[in-house]
Amino acid sequence: MTDRVLILGGRGRIGSSVAEDLATHTQAEIIITGRTPKQTRNISPLQYLVLDLADVEKLQEAIASANLVVHCAGPFHYRDANVLKICIEEGVNYVDVSDHRSFTSKALNYHEEAIAAGVTAIINTGIFPGISNSMVRHDVEQFDTPEKIHLSYLVSGSGGAGITVMRTTFLGLQNPFLAWVDGTWQTVKPYSDREIVYFPPPYGASGVYWFDMPETFTLPRAFSTVKTVITKFGSVPDFYNHLTWIAAHVFPKSWIQNPKGVEFLSHVSHLMTDVTDRFTGIGVAVRSEVTGQKNGQQAVYCSTLVHENTAAAAGCGTGSIAQFLLEGTLKKPGVWPVEEVLPTDLFTQAMQSRRIAVRQGWMN
């Protein structure tokens, strides 16, 4: 029988990239969903289903007919975990591209239920979080005792992800967050503590800032000896960083804590990136740096990745995990962040099959 994959939010930039990856690397029948009718006809293996996540009865029916559900209907800041809950009830494996700790916390609460149901649910897939987490896992495995993780991300303009990435950025500026620093949970202000980080060409030295990501609290959970986890984000061109800093530290809080304010800022930013994307591209860079003990000495190991299209890279990250679940090569009932469930050998295989180069090595 042909596997059926249901991609919620499949008409968006990320969802369509996941669908493209699955169509390339699997023989699955792919059903993508959206809230409004689509004018084009269905073309196998892609089918289209009008579906609003608020219509629980129709959602449950769609999930029950699938072998795997891929949840791409973000932003995830205000999402509940009802899709995951239904997947567990129906015995259907689950993957998502969630990127906010509030949703991650809700999803992890279903861990025991997923185990009991024999459902493998993998959250925080994509590029960051997702591929970035697997880069960290690889780097951590090089040490006798890993002690510090420093993750940095850089996105050119819109990243090819449309207005969603703008909403995610401004929603991430709303509140201070807890970060694991020097063995304690400390409160950090979003878009603070600018740091110059060196990424591979074409980016080079670029400014990055503290940003609230699920990895900020899932990585300390996964790697118990690590005493510090830093997650920082930046944009290209650099003046976007300064505008975002102003939004986080100068604008009245009511502007970014009001949904209408977030929408206004997101649309203005999206209009700006429509212009700058032509010059900067829509690529992404990820840099993982781990410090720890190796053979009795302190050492530093670094992994870097550059991809020309952020949305396409996210599609590869999520699509590869979905592929492994369909093949049965990845099976571990429970709800897991990607770094806790995807072995490094499978991650390496996924990157090689998608021709994504991850450069790795010890730093002098």
C-alpha to C-alpha distance for 171 and 256, rounded to whole angstroms: 7
Pairing of strands 284-294, 177-181: unpaired
Q: Which residue has the higher pLDDT, 352 or 262?
A: 352
Cβ contact 159:282 at 8 Å: yes
pLDDT confidence of residue 323? 98
Q: Are residues 149 and 288 in the same domain?
A: yes
Asked if residue 274 and residue 135 are part of one domain, the reply reads yes
**Radius of gyration over every alpha carbon of the chain, rounded to an integer in angstroms:** 20
State the SS3 of 104-142: HHHHHCCHHHHHHHCCEEEECCCHHHHHHHHHHHHHHCC
Q: Which CATH number goes with the domain that contains 89?
A: 3.40.50.720
How far is it, in rounded angstroms, from Cα 199 to Cα 182? 25
Structural domain of residue 122, as residue ranges?
A: 4-126+312-356
Which secondary structure element, helix H or strand E, spans residue 276, and what is its range?
A: helix 259-280
Res 40 pLDDT > 80: no
174 and 300 fall within a common domain: yes
Provide mean pLDDT across the span 38-56.
Answer: 78
Based on the domain organization, do 254 and 281 belong to the same domain?
A: yes
Residue pair 137/342 in contact (Cβ under 8 Å)? The answer is yes
Mean pLDDT of the chain, nearest integer? 92
Q: Please count the structural domains in the chain.
A: 2
Q: What is the pLDDT of residue 254?
A: 76
pLDDT winner (highest mean) among 105-119, 146-160, 169-183? 105-119
Reply yes or no on whether the pLDDT at 4 is more than 70: yes
Residues pairing with 184 in the sheet: 181
Q: What is the pLDDT of residue 177?
A: 94
216/335 same-domain check: no
Q: Are residues 299 and 217 in the same domain?
A: yes
Quick one: 179 and 118 in the same domain?
Answer: no
Residue 274 in domain? yes
- Report, as an integer, the average pLDDT of 337-354: 98
pLDDT value, residue 244: 84
The arithmetic mean of pLDDT across residues 293-322, rounded, is 97
Q: pLDDT tens digit string along 73-83?
A: 988 988 999 99
Q: How far apart are CA 165 and CA 271, in angstroms?
A: 13
Sort strands 195-199 and 184-188 into parallel, antiparallel or unpaired.
unpaired
> Both 182 and 298 in a single domain?
yes
Q: What is the DSSP letter of 94?
A: E
Residue 43: band (very low, low, confident or very high) from pLDDT cuts 50, 70, 90: low
CB 153 within 8 A of CB 217: no
Could you tell me if 19 and 10 are in contact, meaning their C-beta atoms sit under 8 angstroms apart? yes
In a domain, 362, yes or no: no
Taking only the tens place, the pLDDT of each residue in 192-244 is 999 999 999 999 999 999 999 999 999 999 999 999 999 999 999 998 888 88
Is residue 5's pLDDT more than 90? yes
Q: Evaluate if residue 23 carries a pLDDT over 60.
A: yes
Instruction: Kindly report the CATH number assigned to the domain that includes residue 287.
Output: 3.30.360.10
Q: So what's the pLDDT on residue 39?
A: 55
Strand order through the sheet with 4-8:
46-50, 29-34, 4-8, 68-71, 93-96, 120-123, 334-337
pTM greater than the 0.75 cutoff = yes
For residue 89, which of 65, 62, 60 has the smallest C-alpha distance? Answer: 60
Domain shared by 120 and 156, yes or no: no
The helix/strand/coil state of 296 is coil
Judgement on whether residues 28 and 157 belong to the same structural domain of the protein: no
Residue 219 maps to a domain:
yes
> Is residue 347 a part of any domain in this protein?
yes
Task: Classify residue 299: in a domain, yes or no.
Answer: yes
Indicate whether 7 pLDDT > 90.
Answer: yes
Residue 352 lies in a domain: yes
| 234-289 tens-digit pLDDT | 999 998 888 888 887 787 777 777 778 778 877 878 788 877 788 889 999 999 99
Backbone angles phi, psi at 301, to 5 degrees: -120, 140
Considering only residues 305 and 255, tell me which one the structure prediction assigns the higher pLDDT. Answer: 305
Judgement on whether residues 22 and 121 belong to the same structural domain of the protein: yes
- Quote the pLDDT of residue 248: 78
The pLDDT of residue 42 is above 70: no
79 in any annotated domain:
yes
* Same structural domain, 32 and 149: no
Contact yes or no for 82/53 (Cβ under 8 A) = yes
Q: Report yes or no: 100 and 215 within 8 Å, Cβ to Cβ.
A: no
Q: Is residue 361 part of a domain?
A: no
Question: What percent of the chain lies above the pLDDT cut of 70?
Answer: 96
